[in-house]
Chains A and B, each alone.
Chain A
């Protein structure tokens, strides 16, 4: 067989395979629900809820599929054209998946939509279209080590704290521990979503209303000067600077006095560092007031879907007022996305944790347009270099703004 003929045959086979994908029609209604496994208790709660749903809706069969690597599993399934009817969507993935046309619009399918926090609805809204109701969410707050604050004689953080208060406290809390290891006031990962609250607190934004990149605004400059300044002055540092893999670990090991993590830190600290005595406050206020980030996941419904009504019924069951209560009662930290279930969550986790819930009122979404991974990478890399003094803070802004403009021009 000649080389070219071989290639022709192979190409013909590929084309056939690529073009002939057909979704098999089914007689009985099976809804596949794809996501990832959380804790044992949360998984069991989800299974129980799904069982309840099936009991209440005879004729609908729900199959839960937990993937060890959800984004990869979903992407391959999307590409093939045969994908689950209902699936988790991390907010950062939504723009890509919507652009690919695989996510159905929510339309008027959502039960009591006003009960869902507006800031979370905004996360899953693209160009004015709302796509999917959130499953649960986390916000970033300021965690502080009570014992270290007491020892240094510093007042605990409050909702009124300003940037200056944070800076002064961080300075006072920086030192060394009994073992002679350095202790920092605050842990500041060199990651875009950790810095964004400061950008919003300064009154800045990544884009203006027309979609132009505004990373070079004076507000952005102020925010980056403050964030990188904490590090350059020695009051803060990345987790690795205090021998840790992430902020929670640095905080748990007592190597920093304050951390800015989301709800996931609750369970991590309770389970791994039960000794630590800690409290929670909102992130400090910047020149333009309060801001934090919301990290959330929604239940998306497949655009190419033989059973849209049954799919929405399931999603509503899981994210409706009752579903939200279930999250509040079984979660290991994440919060229900509905205001009506907020009290149940606070009751379970304690009044001290209410800063997490309050964050929903002024949280900004962690969502960037399609293709912006390059922008995130560029920002993180240059911020890291700004931490070590190889770059100036303003270089971080110009570098990442250039990349953002390049992506928009593609």
Chain B
């Protein structure tokens, strides 16, 4: 991208240069025009429209053709979500909390698992590669609604998962995967005898509509189930991307390492992982964008419950806009989500590029 920023600095009044530059410019605009037009009409304008709607109290139903479909309310929707005490603020921060736990749980897990699987599939001695590749990619080609329904069915309390675990460990008490609001961190703290009553004053301190104790709950059991589902479906795509990158690493690099007496772990840690850094960047960016917007699975499986522990920001956008008849509020929620994803992407970029400099 460095070459593009320098484009504006080259401006010498040499006629041939200028005409060449002009034709380049025309070619550039011509080439991007079809895609840019589609983006403008179907994405940019709707986004700007939403940004405008976020400053109104439009319910999302009253026809925009009617006399006064909405009133302009300035930043009131944002204030309700961020600052004003009440259900809307609590819901927003709950959904933010849930989404962040979700992202932090899913992105590293799917990235690491995909990498490990790709490394194994990439082994030359492995038979039936095609089978494995297809097997892992299969969940990605099925519609998310079908996948979610099948998953629900496997994870019901008397379902396949509990029965399988129960058969292996007779003492296992069935977990109610699809309907258990208990936070995972709370459960772990509970093992050490820590609960809200004896945790100390910090736990009951309020912050943005929730107690600190609630903030540190971790994902609920049901959220964990949806995290497993998402990891399971995306792992294939990520693995295929890693696999492709691995196949591009020349064999002589490994041979050299082998001659130097590096063991398998050292080779993996010192050669494979660093060489895959750009791929990791791509995979993590896709993962971040995808997980921050998790919606389909929540919609089919939990509708945000139990006890709002699977309420994510994208689902909150839907529920404000289409169930609560508050489209202005939904748009404001969406814009905030956009800002959050953007910030995370920048942060991620910073971290990866800093590491790359070392």
Contacts and interface: CB of A to CB of B under 8 A. Distances in A.
Direct contact of A and B (CB under 8 A): yes
Interface stretch (B111-119, B250-258, B267-275, B302-310): B302-310
Given A75-B60, A100-B61, A381-B305, A370 B66 contact: no
A373 interface: yes
B156 A243 contact: yes
For the side of the interface on A, what is the size category?
35 or more
Contact of B156 (A101, A245, A373, A380): A245
B323 interface: yes
Contacts of A407: 87
A21 B49 contact: no
Contacts of A23: 65
Interface string B173-191: 0001011010000000000
A238 B325 CA distance: 29
Nearest to B311: A377
Contacts of A181: 158
B110 interface: no
Interface string A83-111: 10000000000001101111000000000
A102 B61 contact: yes
Given A96-B325, A371-B325, A79 B45 contact: no
Given A240-B178, A374-B324, A96 B59 contact: yes
A123 to B, nearest CB: 19
Interface string A371-394: 101100110110011000000000
A88 B238 CA distance: 44
Contacts of A80: 63-65
A19 B319 CA distance: 26
A7 B181 contact: no
Main secondary structure of the interface of B (DSSP, over half): loop
A377 B325 CA distance: 15
B319 to A, nearest CB: 7
Which among B64, B156, B322 has the highest number of chain A CB atoms within 10 Å?
B64
B61 A240 contact: no
A406 B307 contact: no
A370 B61 CA distance: 12
B187 to A, nearest CB: 13
Interface stretch (A8-16, A29-37, A146-154, A328-336): A8-16
B120 interface: no
Nearest to B63: A81
6 contacts: A14-B48, A75-B61, A78-B63, A240-B179, A242-B157, A243-B156
Given A373-B319, A403-B87, 13 more contacts: A10-B45, A71-B322, A75-B322, A79-B63, A80-B63, A83-B63, A97-B61, A100-B61, A245-B152, A304-B66, A373-B323, A384-B305, A406-B87
